[in-house]
Amino acid sequence: MKVLVTGAGGTLGRAVLPRLRADGFDVRAMSRRPRHDPAAEWVVADVETGVGLAEAVDGVDAVLHLASQPNSRRTHRVDVLGTRDLAVAAGAAGVAHLVYVSIVGVDRVPYAYYRHKLAAERVVAAGPVPWTVLRATQFPPFLDALLRTASRLGPVIGDPAVLAQPVDQHEVAGRLSERLTAGPLGGIEEYGGPQVLRFDEAVRAWRAARGSRRPLLPVRIPGRLGSALRAGGLTTTATPTGRRTWADHLADTYGGTGRR
């Protein structure tokens, strides 16, 4: 099976490409700028403008759509309209399966970027190509980067009761490979990490792994957004789940145990 991977240079894309190759897929990787990778065929195309999409989807059996533009004025153009253009091009090319990667909570958490992701899911479902949507919880590198940003002023600033369920991006890559093999689901699957953590628990493990004594400065997120995050809007009870924990990520990244 030949698979086009959009957003192939991102965090998930870098995990997906080697996994698909190891599982026997013929991979065509797509990015906005030229790249060289002797292990994969790279093509240049732009979801935002539509330039190169017809050529990118030509001759592939499936499309794994990872490309996204979070927190930007371009998000609607890339995530919603760009997804529509990709689906139309894939349909015209006779592609048999479009897999779209979304985020757990897009239908529950009132956040602007999530509204665009939910709209893109609906575009895929209404489009001309048999489809699957895989919603994943947050990747550990994202949570790690969030904590580094939240501690720029000294203490780690955040709402201690917010719930997260980090899932390793390599395990998500494995699940996507399984979904491609299984064929179109015509529905939505959620995939999360093995444990749900409060923000303060994640911070304590992060500080332990880094040998940091930065205190947690609790700041309650107001309104409907805060309520949704504290109620577990970013988590899922779906099975199966990944196996690698937040502590595993911290041990690999910082050498500490990530346990307290």
Q: Which amino acid is at 79?
A: D
- pLDDT for position 61: 98
Q: Which residues pair with 42 in a beta bridge?
A: 29
Ranges under pLDDT 70 in the chain: 256-260
Strand locations in 10-140 (E): 26-31, 41-44, 62-65, 97-103, 131-136
For the residues of 154-217, what is the DSSP string, one character each?
SSEEE-TT-EE----HHHHHHHHHHHHHH---SSEEEE--S--EEHHHHHHHHHHHHT--PPEE
Measured between alpha carbons, how far is residue 68 from residues 13, 48, 81, 133 in Å? Answer: 11, 10, 11, 14
User: What are 175-221's pLDDT values in tens digits?
Assistant: 999 999 999 999 999 999 999 999 999 999 999 999 998 999 999 99
- pLDDT for position 258: 47
User: What are 150-175's pLDDT values in tens digits?
Assistant: 999 999 999 999 999 999 999 999 99
Tokens of 156: 């780690």
pTM metric for this prediction = 0.94
Domains of the chain in start order, with CATH, are: 2-137+169-191 (3.40.50.720)
Report which of 78, 83, 72 is spatially closest to residue 112, judged by C-alpha positions.
Answer: 72
